[in-house]
Amino acid sequence: MTERPNWQQLFVGREDELALLEAGWDAARCGDPQRMVLLAPPGVGKTRLVQEFYQRLSVSHDGAGTDGYWPDRLGNERDRISLAALPKNATPRGR
């Protein structure tokens, strides 16, 4: 039996929005600072979009699993979805 993923980690669609965020990230890395605003009604997935963007950056730029300093995914705190990685969840390099 295959293990089912946590529903809070599922992400479907929104590839266009992710591509815009990734383009902004690439421009910023090349020295062109960016400001991006996510504006939409409550409940359409702005926070989840940011979580997915963080996860992709964390794995691709920081290293996956214990190879990276920051956790691969942002979690939940009680009933709220986290939008920032906490330093206490970081993995010191070399471990």
Per-residue pLDDT reduced to its tens digit, 2-28: 666 665 567 778 889 999 999 999 999
pLDDT class for 57, splitting at 50, 70, 90? confident
Q: Is residue 94 scored above 50 in pLDDT?
A: no
pLDDT of 95 over the 60 cut: no
- Mean pLDDT in the chain? 80
* Calpha distance 20→28 (Å, rounded): 12
State the Cα–Cα distance between residues 81 and 83, nearest whole angstrom. 7
3-class secondary structure, 40: coil
The percent of the chain in helix, strand and coil, each rounded to the nearest 5, is 45, 5, 55
